Structure 1
Amino acid sequence: MIYKAKYGSKAYEYIKSICEAEDKEFKAYVKRVEDSVGFEFDKFGGYMPDSTLTRICEVTSILVDKEKWEQLDKKLWKKKDVIKDYVRIVPIKRTKQGKAISAVLSSYNAVTDYWRILKELGLNEGSGNRITLPQLRYTNGHCFIRLGDNVRADNDNPDLVEITMSEYERLIEKE
């Protein structure tokens, strides 16, 4: 279910602040990773904040084109597999530099977590044995939270209004 936070409400300000802080930390994290590996990259394998309870981002592998792979130090990088035109690589942790890169890959500073989001927004986890991770988005001056069916946010917090997928798509399409 998708909920839109009412403009200017406490829920709106909270979601906006989390999205802005996570975006700032993500950019700083990617910069740290690029500085440690010694090159810029476009694609990576790993975790994004919306996919974990602790809302961490972690690069677990980097995807480089085959030409870049040929230029890299094979004593520092291990080829995991090939995905289309990209080679998925990871640092070799037996080396001093590989350990240093691995430490940077684990250096994302989480802004919040699953339980804090629910608490700050006054939401009940709902019943059932499954947890649906909240997905937050701030775009075009609107704040959204996507939750599973087990959480009825509009019942718990009047600042959150359930919207349809088509309304959500219309509001973000200006992006």
Structure 2
Amino acid sequence: MQALTSSFVSRSLVPTTPRRHRVRPLSVAPMTVCIDQSRKEKVVVIMGSTGTGKSRLSVDLATRFSAEIINSDKMQFYKGLEITTNQITIPEKCGVPHHLLGELPVDGPELTASEFRSLASGSISDMTSRGKLPIIAGGSNSYIHALLVEHFDPETNPFSKPLIPIELRYDLKYMS
């Protein structure tokens, strides 16, 4: 893991242009996906506020490792909102496959956290079966929460009050 962090921190998080203010660093959480009890798969989650470089970091990691990216930003699921949501451009993707990015019609129903959980889980299974490392990148905490918890209840707001300890679907390891 040390090699992973040192290879991209020195290159990716150093701003290429001067900035007036410093943004908080991204949260990067490598984790193990429990596909079944006998086999565990690795997944990386990149979370952060708008404009902190999540897309850039995810592409940087994906080009260094055999990886694909799953979008977890709830507005970037929709077609036609590329400029409004500051969606990553085709040249910025550097040929890295992106999933759940600009795939849904903007005039269709809103993607729920449960639907995201199902779609993202399917993408993770597909990627790992092909030997790819799934990278989840975005800032929609409710969607990431839905993906991570073992027993997701769409009727519960996980951010409204302290919850009893929850069981996670993943073995989380945080880097700072």
TM-score interval, smaller chain: under 0.3
- TM-score w.r.t. the length of structure 2 is 0.22
Give the structure with the larger strand fraction. Answer: 1
- TM-score w.r.t. the length of structure 1 is 0.22
Which structure has more RCO (C-alpha within 8 Å, separation ≥ 6)? 1
Greater Rg, structure 1 or structure 2?
1
